[in-house]
Amino acid sequence: MDLKLLATDAGNHLALGVGRRIGKPLTAVHHKRCSDGEYVPQIMENIRDTHTVLVCPTCPPSDHNLMDALILGDAIVRAAPARFTMVFPYWGYNRQDRKDKPRVPLTAKLASDMVSMLCPNNVLLFDVHSEATLGYFAREVKVDHLYSSAVSVEHLRALVQPPFVVAGADKSAGPRSAYYARLLGQDRYVLFDKSRDREGKLLSANSRVIGDVAGCDVILVDDLVDTGGTVNLATNTALQAGARNVYLFATHGVLSGSATAALESGRIRKVIVTDSIYHDPATLTPKIEVLSIAGFLAEAIMRIHEGRSLSELIP
């Protein structure tokens, strides 16, 4: 069965890298934007009876890119491929995974329901914020979830000098911190405790580190970096507690608003993200380093295409 690779506008840069690694050019799509803003894509090649793979991160603007993925996905379904796989390098709205206040939406479930309506054979997700939401998709959709540790661990190992310690930027990051600590050969990890006011603003006076960082390099690990506020607060707390240097690895560089400037002016030494979300290199600073996941996703896509296990890609 032939494999066809398509991408939304948001996924085009990453999909080009995937295509180079699997030896497949991107299938031509005419991305038409009407004067009223409506999106009308047209697939310019025959994809009938193929395995069609759509790379479609739902990064900011999340509503725009989610609709693009759904609309282009609908065009694919109506073109009658034999198999259809949707690849979400970044799965937006995943932080809205619980109804923790009265009269609020469960948007992570809603987004999963909308994708499930397209009836893709496979959905491939990459380092989601909430793994519990993997069960939000319809039972008929085969969902695979991969981790960025496969591309980040060796890079992090070469970056820091012992002694070092892995850290989570808040208390909810315990499982991720423990996982990275094990992969990096550490028998402990630390966490940072933070609090917010009613408007959600971080209270720096209440930040503290749970564990010992004195004399150590600190590697903060997280699934994403958004505004940079939590990262800068954890960095300041660590340095006040005697840490030598602080580094951050976050899979998804959301970098909304003035995040790039905030990180550049902060005391963190290096910020490492992946290209799950594309940023023009001209908008980034030397402090921000980008690791490519194109080769990793290419291997995962080929394993799905050939019916092979993805477990070997999980450290």
Q: Which residues are known catalytic residues?
A: 194
Concatenating the DSSP letter of every residue in 81-98 gives -SEEEEEESS-TTTT--S
- What stretches of 13-60 adopt beta strand conformation (E)? 29-33, 39-43, 51-55
Alpha helices, DSSP H only, in the chain? 12-22, 62-78, 107-117, 149-159, 174-183, 229-240, 259-265, 294-306
CA distance 188 to 209: 14
Contact 29, 23 (CB under 8 A): no
Largest CA distance in the chain: 61
Residue type, 314: I
